[in-house]
């Protein structure tokens, strides 16, 4: 998605968005007006990609992340960021990432494992280790920690916190009914212990959807300001 009055001779800041979870699909032939359109109005190139593990591309593509969830997905998204940096209309030093829930863990991994690619990232309600997530989901894709300890510990964002270079914004609702707030708090502690600077905002008594009253207006306004401050 290109900015209004796009000029191919200019370089624009950009944002890579995704969900990336097993069997999902974000890239579809449909019209949907959301935050991406607003960012395009504000001068951003917005890119969305479906990494390995998502649906719509056959069994092998969907199931190859089994027992190593978070790994191939992160590799694909980082490679997408590198591809974006090669486009003449994208400023290579002004590429950001954004994700929520599964996407939040992916944006965290992009900021850590892809630290030289992404200048800024937003992680909303991220799973930072599947040791803190519900077993019915975690064991579906990773089996148990006893059977597959590497699957739980080798690729989780919490173990890459020392690699952060860019600007990171963590967001979580204190009453999240899906991804427990412990995920973000423990990641924050790891970042502190590695003396990595970051921003964090908690929404009081908000669940995984982070809404109610003025909450969504505040959240997306804050995220927009963060991107403008760090990418434009």
Active site residues: 101, 176, 208
d(CA 54, CA 73): 9
Query: DSSP letter at 97?
Result: E
Length of the chain measured in residues: 232
**Cα separation values, 27 from 22, 51, 60, Å:** 14, 10, 18
Dist. CA 87–CA 192, nearest whole Å: 35
Check residue 113 and report its DSSP letter. H
Please give the span between the terminal C-alpha atoms of the chain, in angstroms, as a whole number: 17
CA proximity to 207, closest of 167, 168, 180: 180
């Amino acid at each position: 998605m290109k900015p209004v009055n796009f000029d191919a001779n200019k370089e624009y800041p950009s944002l890579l968005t995704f969900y990336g979870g097993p069997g999902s699909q974000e890239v579809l032939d449909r019209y949907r007006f959301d935050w991406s359109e607003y960012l395009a109005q504000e001068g951003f190139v917005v890119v969305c990609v479906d990494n390995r593990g998502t649906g719509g591309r056959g069994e092998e593509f969907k199931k190859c992340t089994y027992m190593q969830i978070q790994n191939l997905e992160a590799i694909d998204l980082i490679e997408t960021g590198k591809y974006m940096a090669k486009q003449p209309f994208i400023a290579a030093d002004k590429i950001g990432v954004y994700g929520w829930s599964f996407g939040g863990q992916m944006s965290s991994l992009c900021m850590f494992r892809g630290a030289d690619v992404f200048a800024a990232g937003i992680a909303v309600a991220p799973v930072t280790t599947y040791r803190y997530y519900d077993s019915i989901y975690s064991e579906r894709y990773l089996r148990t920690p006893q059977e597959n300890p590497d699957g739980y510990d080798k690729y989780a964002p919490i173990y890459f916190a020392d690699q952060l270079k860019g600007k990171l914004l963590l967001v979580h609702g204190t009453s999240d009914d899906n991804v427990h707030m412990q995920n973000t708090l423990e990641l924050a502690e790891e970042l502190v212990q590695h003396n990595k600077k970051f921003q964090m905002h908690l929404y009081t008594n908000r669940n995984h959807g982070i809404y109610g009253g003025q909450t969504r207006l505040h959240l997306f306004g804050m995220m927009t300001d963060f991107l403008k401050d760090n990418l434009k």
